[in-house]
Chains A and B, each alone.
Chain A
Amino acid sequence: MIQVDVRRKMGDFTLQAAFNSPPGGITALFGRSGAGKTALINLLAGLDRPDEGRIVVDGVVLFDSDAGIDLPPEQRRLGYVFQEGRLFPHMSVRRNLAYGMKGKDGAADFDRIVALLDIGALLDRTPRALSGGEKQRVAIGRALLASPRLVLMDEPLAALDMGLKAEILPYIERLRDELAIPIVYVSHAMEEIVRLADTLVIMSDGKVAAVGPVDELMSRLDLRPLTGRYEAGAVLTVTVEGHDLNRAVTSLSFAGMTMLVPHADIPVGEELRIRVRARDVSLALTAPTDISILNIFPGRVMEISDRKDGQMDVIVDVGAKIWARVTRLAVTRLALVPGMEIHALVKAVAIDRQSFGRRIKPR
């Protein structure tokens, strides 16, 4: 549980951020560069000091200007994974990892974390001899071994190329799922957030614009200008219902509906998040027959909004919110207005591997 309410003036820029995030899981801080994400987690870590406010993590007051509390960073027990790793160049990987360890009972943790991050072969090397991805894994391990209450990650993948990002992401998922350690994850890459995060904090211009579950915020049209660069679409939380191996499809259920997607090797019963891109969704006034599209969801138009480029975003409530991107011509032809009944059509193959996000272990 993180409760933040801080104010910090830095020259012309004022950071004024307040949010609460539920315990556990990954809380993503999202915003464009300059939105104040890094400034905010530096305040959390104690590397910078708010002008006023209060920071509480797991019931421990880290900062409270009214009560005169300001714990130094070394007493906050917040692990920090920096964008550039910041490994100590004069120490081996092993000594880097052990730097924040306390006491003898760290040894078991050491082996477990080294195994979890696959860095056993690197222990005797120096940071200079590591690749970018290896450095970040060691940096994550070092932060974890200081037994933090919370891990802060400041765009840990930003300095890596696409291939390396894909290499690190599974490790961060493992931390979340196997160690159950709460993480605050700063990113401006929405695809990472959809894959990792539970709670989303959208920042803009030093302020918190919205806080909530990822799928909920992703389907809000008013946040479109802020979530912008990411290809628009709805994020749905679904449960794997079954597999039809002969016909190579997997069925997913959400909000009483069933969606068919190309076969995916995920156990039945598992919950996961999928992304349905707005431009992959078509609209029809009546349910079409004799059509190859497998997913036809009846629903109601909730909202229509004009985009700058003349295309229209239509949000359809089919039990969950689905987002369709169509031309103005299409909206005119179908005479779409909020409240009317409609069918949202989604090609099964539009849901590909990149569309699968955060997996949630069945409870």
Chain B
Amino acid sequence: MDWLTPLEIEALGLSLRVAVVGVLCSLPFGLAAAWLLARRDFPGKSLVDGIIHLPLVVPPVVVGYLLLVALGRRGPIGGWLYDSFGVTIAFTWKGAAIAAAVMAFPLMVRAMRLSLESVDRRLEAAARTLGAGRARVFATITLPLMAPGILAGVVLAFARALGEFGATITFVSNIPGETRTLPIALYALTQTPDGEAAAARLAVISVMLALAAIIASEWIARRMARRLEGGT
């Protein structure tokens, strides 16, 4: 990859790693949250709904700050993690992944919840009369039928995670090779004299990455739809 500079390769690789890890790790929680919101009634449901949606409406800097307070080495969770396991979250790429996951979470949950609500519960009832327990019904009926929604949620979350800036820079700062993702590198370059050309290159890379993700997801969505609707 001669046509990318070492800095670009580093930022691109880091961005992809942060976004992929962040999205994959939050996927099970996203599913669980979507299921709770779509299928369960419990006291405090609207509060839970509100908290999940908070990152959409609160300034990202606030989210980053809260993460730093909770997960920093002296924070209640971060301190415990460090004392018990020697794990540091703040100012590492793991922290960047967490920041990206938290910011992308509401988008993921919304898409999954919508698709779960559109799954025909009568099909699930039919599966149970055929001898399938709840877990098998979920794995063989519910999950495949909501697959397009899961995909949509993952794609949205991935795009949001790639673009994450405010919470990331507040929580994990701008450390080359550790937390300097594409948007952060781009921002840093615009603050540097003579950085315009390099910044423009990063902008083009960002756009191409986003385009590639959209095209790939469209392609998968078409294949899924064909399978669900029963073509070949």
Contacts and interface: CB of A to CB of B under 8 A. Distances in A.
A46 B132 CA distance: 13
A74 B135 CA distance: 11
A143 B130 contact: yes
Contacts of B145: 89-90
B125 A99 contact: no
B197 to A, nearest CB: 50
Contacts of A77: 131
B230 A74 contact: no
Contact of B230 (A75, A129, A142): A129
B126 A74 contact: no
B123 A72 contact: no
Contact of B130 (A99, A127, A129): A99
A327 B50 CA distance: 73
B192 interface: no
Interface in B197-227: 227
B130 A47 contact: no
B141 A74 contact: no
A47, A89, A129, most chain B CB atoms within 10 A: A89
A171 B231 CA distance: 28
A100 B230 contact: no
A78 interface: yes
B127, B128, B229 pick with most chain A CB within 10 angstroms: B128
Query: Looking at chain A's contact residues, is the secondary structure mostly helix, strand, loop, or mixed?
Result: loop
Contacts, number: 68
Interface stretch (A79-87, A217-225, A301-309): A79-87
A80 B129 CA distance: 6
B127 A99 contact: yes
A282 interface: no
Contacts of A356: none
Interface string A86-110: 1011100000000110100000000
B222 to A, nearest CB: 15
B134 to A, nearest CB: 8
A88 B131 contact: no
A159 B37 CA distance: 34
Nearest to A77: B131
B132 A99 contact: yes
Contacts of A142: 130
B130 A89 contact: no
A45 interface: yes
Contacts of B122: 82, 84, 86
Contacts of A46: 128-129
Interface string B138-153: 0011001100000000
B48 interface: no
B128 A72 contact: yes
A84 B231 CA distance: 21
B228 interface: yes
B125 A90 contact: no
B131 A74 contact: yes
A281 B128 CA distance: 50
Contact of B133 (A72, A126, A129): A72
Contacts of B128: 46-47, 72-74
A146 B130 contact: yes
A9 interface: no
Nearest to A48: B125
A308 to B, nearest CB: 40
Contacts of B231: 126
Contacts of B144: 90
Contact of A90 (B129, B130, B228): B228
Interface in B2-53: none
- Ranked nearest first, the 6 interchain pairs of A and B with the lowest CB-CB distance are A126-B230, A100-B130, A128-B230, A80-B129, A86-B126, A73-B128
9 contacts: A46-B128, A73-B125, A74-B133, A77-B131, A82-B126, A90-B227, A99-B132, A126-B229, A128-B230
Given A88-B141, A90-B228, 15 more contacts: A72-B128, A74-B131, A77-B131, A80-B126, A80-B129, A82-B126, A84-B122, A86-B122, A86-B125, A88-B126, A90-B145, A99-B130, A125-B230, A126-B230, A128-B230
